[in-house]
Structure 1
Amino acid sequence: MKKLLTSLCVLSLVLAGCSQNANEDVESDRETLRVGMECNYAPFNWTDAEANDTNVPLSSGGYCDGYDVAIAKRIAESLDMNLEVVKMEWDSLTKSINSNMIDLIIAGMTDTPKRREAIDFTDPYYESDMTIIVRSDSQYANATSLEDFSGATIAGQMGTLYDTVIDQIPNVNHATAMENYPLLVQALLSGVVDGVTAETPVGQGNVAANGDALTLVEFEDGKGFDVDLTDTSVSIGIAKNSELFEDVQNALASITQEERDQMMKDAASRQPANEE
């Protein structure tokens, strides 16, 4: 009887091992979808030090999480591909697509005519409004229009619409653009600038992460930035004439608006208080 039990145990271990190996073989046979993002633009994407149920490992160390990661997971799943998130600087994203270092850009990037000269874009996967983050104790905390920011020093992220739209503010002191939002928020908190432009979820996330120190100025129609010049929707970037384009577009279309809203809500609720 003891020999029979031993044999059954050995057989179970062998079968389990075979099953595990089979699963590993299936995963290894699948192609990898390489998705580029900053991992420094919460709640769209950020870096974690430790693994959890929602983030993915980075080859450079650490983990990446956020709304963009959730979207990337769904796209990879629909394409039956393994997901690899590649962390890189904002200015390197388009170059990396064209040098075949990554397959997609899912990084809160807006489709613009200039960018379309280099890459293609899918339909938008998220849309929001343009806001300004200010210190809660500043004279701009109760602003309701762009005119209220006349004379203010405002900064935006380098190489984005959030920098170029600043000139819509009358008599603005357009501060030098910065590489990422942690630097922008640091400049705001230290008093180097009076405000930082941001789309709604990014603004809300940074306000929530800094307690009562910051507040978000949102504008009514006609009192904020010109929507004809400011498109705050974001799309997936992909190489021109890519064979993946139609499949990615279809995969994106399969994610309902309700699912997208919930994914953003979940990402905003778990983003870290301080990005790395």
Structure 2
Amino acid sequence: MKKKIMLGIIALSGLSMMTSCNHSSVSNDVLVIGMECNYQPFNWTTSKNTEDTLPIDKTNEFADGYDIAIAKYLSQDLKKEVVIKRLEWGSLIPSLNNDEINMILAGMTDTHERRESIDFTDPYLTSDLAFLIKTSDVDESLGTKEKPMSYDELLNLFDGKSLVCQSNVVGDDFIETYFVHNKQNKAIRHSPAQATYPLAANDVLGGISFAMPAELPVVEAMTNLNKNELRVLYCDYKGFLSSEDQNGLSVSIGVKKGNSELKEELNASLAKLSAEERSSMMAKAATRSSESAL
């Protein structure tokens, strides 16, 4: 999931419930959400006004993505107004602790280091690791959902080839940690990271790179770029990812330390949303991302 930096502007949602955010502190009566609006497929900016988007304050642009879908769901379920602030990644936690926002909904992973300064809800998305590959490059019997590839099999398959991912996400780190610096001395290369998943997927489609690691809903959505030529390669990632890196495949909502009231409300609302519904929401967001990015 996401871990570094992007852009910043203040944005206002329009769920049929609207509010301003001119004050310097916020209460739990309003969901004041910090995100980047520049990290596909979790959140990004678009010029299209659709049922999946929210308007960005004082611009003619709109925000879309999985985080926006979750924000809409929480607003409707909790019957609370929503304000979205678009902030740089590095400003999210300081803004939360300074009471400029009361939630971080930005594809953020719950880590021990971050828990020292903020609290987290239960995950609002937990996924599996998979790879996007060209159908013609790998036998259809390999890397299936029923028989995922082991780490050794992946290393043998990727030997002499290059892997690519979107920049500033854990999948890009996984390439370096588990494949480039593998202990079997396989010659696996790391292609320059792309700005978005769709652009990385296009590298795979064009034969520039052999495979792209990402969360399963993202990989499934990227196959929509060309269903005849791209497919999912499943892997037994629990056999080689560390527990910390497995945790990196989950994202949670950040709240200010001690704000147990909001944390409990959010957890109760998220508990009503099934894993299937969450995966569907992510797949739809990733599909819209692929359609808008190329």
Structures share fold, TM-score greater than 0.5: yes
1:165 maps to 2:174 = yes
Structure 1 range deviating more: 146-155 or 85-94: 85-94
Instruction: Give the Cα–Cα distance (whole angstroms) in 2 for the partners of residues 128 and 226 of structure 1.
Output: 13
Q: Secondary structure at the match of 2:106?
A: strand
Unmatched segments (≥5 aa) in structure 1: 1-23
Q: Secondary structure at the match of 1:274?
A: helix
The CA deviation string for residues 173-194 of structure 1, in whole angstroms up to 9 with x for no partner, is 2344444324433444454432
| Counterpart contact for 2:18–2:82, Cα < 8 Å | no
Instruction: Give the Cα–Cα distance (whole angstroms) in 2 for the partners of residues 155 and 45 of structure 1.
Output: 21
1:216 maps to 2:225 = no
- Deviation of 1:63 after TM superposition, in Å, equals 2.1
Instruction: Give the Cα–Cα distance (whole angstroms) in 2 for the partners of residues 119 and 67 of structure 1.
Output: 22
What code does the residue aligned with 2:161 have? A
State TM-score, norm by structure 1: 0.71
Unmatched segments (≥5 aa) in structure 2: 1-15, 21-28, 144-148
- Deviation of 1:271 after TM superposition, in Å, equals 5.4
Aligned residues: 250
| Counterpart contact for 2:224–2:287, Cα < 8 Å | no
Match of 1:226 in 2: 241
Match of 1:255 in 2: 273
Match of 1:238 in 2: 255
The CA deviation string for residues 27-81 of structure 1, in whole angstroms up to 9 with x for no partner, is 5597452241435423x44444322223211224422233322211222334443
Instruction: Give the Cα–Cα distance (whole angstroms) in 1 for the partners of residues 37 and 19 of structure 2.
Output: 26
Instruction: Give the Cα–Cα distance (whole angstroms) in 2 for the partners of residues 114 and 174 of structure 1.
Output: 28
Structure 1 range deviating more: 62-71 or 141-150: 141-150
The CA deviation string for residues 107-129 of structure 1, in whole angstroms up to 9 with x for no partner, is 33332223334432211122211
State TM-score, norm by structure 2: 0.67
What code does the residue aligned with 1:206 have? M
Structural RMSD (CA):
3.6
What code does the residue aligned with 2:254 have? G
Match of 1:110 in 2: 109
The CA deviation string for residues 145-195 of structure 1, in whole angstroms up to 9 with x for no partner, is 322212322233444321222222233323444443244334444544322
Relative distance call for 1:187 and 1:260 in structure 2 (3 A) is closer
The structure with more radius of gyration: 1
Q: Secondary structure at the match of 2:270?
A: helix
